[in-house]
Amino acid sequence: MNYGYVRVSTQKQKTDRQTIELLEVGLEKRKIYIDKQSGKDFNRENYQKLKKRLKRGDCVFIKSIDRLGRNYTEIINEWNELTKIIHCDIVVLDMSLLDTRERKDNLIGKFIGDIVLQILSFVAENERVNIRQRQMEGIKIAKEKGVRFGKPPKELPYNFKELCIQYKLGQLSIEDILASSNISRATFYRKIKSYL
């Protein structure tokens, strides 16, 4: 039986490109399992459903090797579980050498597939490490230039100092101030220190 697996990292990302390619190789739509979840671990609901369904001789089609995981060790472990424990085949559409289906030169094909898999998995993990490193460097440079990250600070009402004084004198309750100023209790207590 042939199955397909599609994964994107977030709910906002589209699965169309991967799904279309799997349909073009003849897979039925109902046999394509889709997850919209990070590849950082294998607690992906539909991937786990797919694995429970797989039997010896079945074949899993994926668009690219990084659909199996995010780092070298995970990809290699998952590949080995699928091919050597479950005994199903894998076809990676983006890399024709990664096709474990029976062929006349099956032994050589599997050997080459294992080598190519190890190289590609290493390259994929290395690229993710480099991307993270570049992001951290970019963030550091931006912070040095004064760029602020996160939500902008909550704007205080123009009369916040007066409200603080009235609160301190017991003329206003915290509820009165929060209702009229549209700030949270935590923000009020954090900011009042600077005004008294």
Which residues does the annotation mark as catalytic? 9
Q: What does the alpha-carbon distance between residue 143 and residue 46 come to, in Å, rounded to a whole number?
A: 40
Contact 60, 31 (CB under 8 A): no
Cβ partners under 8 Å of residue 168, min gap 6: 196
Cα angle vertex 141, ends 139, 147, to 5°?
70
Pick from 56, 54, 57: nearest CA to 33: 54
Whole-number Å distance between alpha carbons of 98 and 113:
5
* CA angle centred on 43, ends 93 and 28, rounded to 5°: 40
> Is 132 in contact with 126 (CB distance < 8 Å)?
no
